[in-house]
Chains A and B, each alone.
Chain A
């Protein structure tokens, strides 16, 4: 354990990977509140296919850690019922790619229960699910379809990119009053490790994080696209280009103030995500900047994204944005005037 350097009060920290931080958050949430239950496929005995729920069954028992039949509809549907009755279920969907059987439960039910009941039946379910490419998962273990959920009123959509945020955002999700889609960047589950504050460390939703300060251009990213964006910024610094990298952390709610403040300073924006470009989250960011930062802009808004194709297997390195594509887009933006 070490002290967390940025915290004014001395807080003990532990070096963890992203997936370990998720696991730590689940343990702490379940210890703190007996109403927190975990359910999903292979989450109990097996500890989750990525080991995110490892150890929970042993500590909390089969009444609180439920290995469910293989049905996403059943997982989310029963989680909704548990939440309506007053429990705080944290459901795992094994891959975001497999969430669609539960789409009706999420979009028609979970997202709308508070609204359609006039506030009588709020429904707080956290749905954790690994998302994104980079693990040679092909069409069905790689997709980034966060935009579907961002488009539905009533859902919060959160994407951590560091171990500390994985724990802090997940503890905030469990403590929230609204349904949360918690997207875990599986590509960096183990690739990134960092100091994670011990104890009840919460990161609020709607507060973006400045990964790196800069003055020439703003790079907006989230999840597994944050590390390559930071790497591109380091490369560009050697060329005399000062790129600011902003990690959005939560897509709904979006920290619009941070996005607008960054572009007011730099005048240029590059949006990075691994999801397909058309109607992707970057389109919403670009529209926001066009509506509210038009007079700050010195260059066209650029998007570095996955292509408008299904997610490939052999060509995943071609599909996914990497530091080179991000750096190239930044250079173009800086040269544009």
Chain B
């Protein structure tokens, strides 16, 4: 880990560091997310879900960062962060229901897969425009401070988002208002087809923090412990009132940007193969095996249990009811306007459904 600021990383690894039982838990979540990726890519190819954005290569960054947060912290995600939601206690079923957009989906089938909202876990609604969540996380952090709550906000974004005007606005406001925010950048090397070196001439993405007046930290995103320590340290700074931190977790996206993307058009297979040598899941497994916390049969059981849990959740999601067509008109406003009532009635007539006014 290196830092671009003069401020040293003085936060001790203990007692905040990840214990071996927590590391094993982290590994289980990593396996679940990796297995979910594999299943969902297949489901999308079979036409059973409409879209999917895979996480492979980024599990340690996602899970290590999420484990460093507290219950009262708020997460402002992009769309590749379901692992964070899992760590924060969102049930796998709720995630799979969102991927299917069924009647049990908490966002009522209104968004493409991977665009989650989990109020109870302070996992804020994700959208597709790049970087828009960044100033929102800063505003929420300003509200945290106004309320004098011992909490922080964290926002997740990729290397591509560092070119967005929202990134600049958010970083700048956070610096000026000393907002208790963590800017967690997953630099996975590619913004769809654009390589990191074409995104900016800056030596690192974290270096940008210096211009906004707060520390930027580069961390090996394949090392779950290093990520956890970096976020824990940033969180401590924020809660103490010392302001924001940007963390650049250097990772590699093994798969496509999404199921709509064909990465063979823009990057050589050899690069992917080289990155897979540093697979965060394999790395943590090796560490756990080395300290005697995991063996091959135990590992096989973890993967088997993950796949079984996913199969059960998918089966349940496919049996769930479809979204009520007339829910189309709900949640536009707190209450349906006369105009929406009228359109709802027209829609009901078109569908031959009685217009129920709850």
Contacts and interface: CB of A to CB of B under 8 A. Distances in A.
Interface of A: 37, 63-64, 66, 68-69, 71, 73-74, 76-87, 89, 101, 104-105, 108-109, 112-122, 153-154, 156, 176-178, 206, 252-254, 256
B129 A77 contact: no
- Most chain-B Cβ atoms within 10 A of its Cβ — which of A37, A114, A254? A114
Given A77-B139, A81-B139, A81-B143, A119 B330 contact: yes
Given A104-B132, A109-B136, 10 more contacts: A68-B176, A71-B169, A73-B165, A74-B169, A77-B166, A82-B146, A84-B140, A87-B146, A89-B139, A178-B333
A120 B108 CA distance: 11
The 10 closest A-B pairs by CB, nearest first: A81-B139, A77-B135, A78-B139, A74-B169, A117-B117, A81-B140, A85-B143, A177-B334, A117-B125, A81-B136
B230 interface: no
A68 B173 contact: yes
Contact of B135 (A73, A118, A153, A253): A73
B176 A81 contact: no
A119 B331 contact: yes
17 contacts: A63-B146, A69-B169, A73-B165, A77-B136, A82-B140, A82-B143, A86-B147, A104-B132, A108-B127, A108-B129, A109-B127, A117-B106, A118-B106, A121-B119, A177-B333, A252-B337, A253-B339
Contacts of A177: 333-334
A114 B333 contact: yes
A114 B138 contact: no
Contact of B111 (A86, A105, A116): A116
B98 to A, nearest CB: 10
Given A74-B172, A153-B332, A116 B140 contact: no
A108 B129 CA distance: 8
B153 interface: yes
Given A85-B143, A101-B165, A77 B138 contact: yes
Contact of A114 (B124, B134, B334): B334
Contacts of B68: none
- Most chain-A Cβ atoms within 10 A of its Cβ — which of B177, B331, B339? B331
Nearest to A179: B333
Contacts of B156: none
A83 B146 CA distance: 12
Nearest to A109: B132
Nearest to B126: A116
A69 B140 contact: no
Nearest to A81: B139
B334 A178 contact: yes
Interface of B: 74, 76, 105-108, 110-111, 115, 117-119, 124-125, 127, 129, 132, 134-144, 146-147, 153, 165-166, 168-170, 172-173, 176-177, 330-334, 337-339
A78 B106 contact: no
Contacts of A118: 105-108, 110, 117, 331
A176 B129 CA distance: 27
B343 to A, nearest CB: 11
Given A71-B173, A117-B107, A105 B144 contact: no
A178 B124 CA distance: 17
A113 B125 contact: yes
Given A37-B146, A154-B332, A121 B117 contact: yes
Contacts of A63: 146
A122 B333 CA distance: 9
Contact of A74 (B110, B125, B135, B141): B135
Contacts of B74: 84-85
A81 B115 contact: no
Contacts of A68: 173, 176
Given A109-B132, A116-B111, A256-B338, A84 B333 contact: no
Nearest to B139: A81
Contacts of B125: 113, 116-117, 120-121
Contact of A84 (B105, B124, B334, B339): B124
A76 B177 CA distance: 15
A77 B169 CA distance: 8
B119 A117 contact: yes
A253 B119 contact: no
Nearest to B125: A117
B110 A115 contact: yes
Given A71-B173, A74-B173, A77-B169, A115 B332 contact: yes
A153 B331 CA distance: 10
Contacts of B124: 84, 121
A321 to B, nearest CB: 27
Nearest to A105: B132
B110 A116 contact: yes
A74 B337 CA distance: 30
A300 to B, nearest CB: 25
A81 B135 contact: yes
Contacts of B166: 73, 77, 104-105
Nearest to B144: A85
A84 B132 contact: no
Contacts of A252: 337
- Most chain-A Cβ atoms within 10 A of its Cβ — which of B107, B136, B143, B339? B136
B56 to A, nearest CB: 26
A120 B123 CA distance: 10
Contacts of A253: 337-339
Nearest to A77: B135
Given A77-B166, A118-B331, A87 B172 contact: no
Contacts of B108: 118-119
Nearest to B132: A109
A86 B139 CA distance: 11
A97 to B, nearest CB: 18
A100 to B, nearest CB: 11
Nearest to A125: B139
Contacts of B110: 115-116, 118
A250 to B, nearest CB: 11
Contacts of A109: 127, 129, 132, 136
A84 B136 contact: yes
A84 to B, nearest CB: 6
B144 A116 contact: no
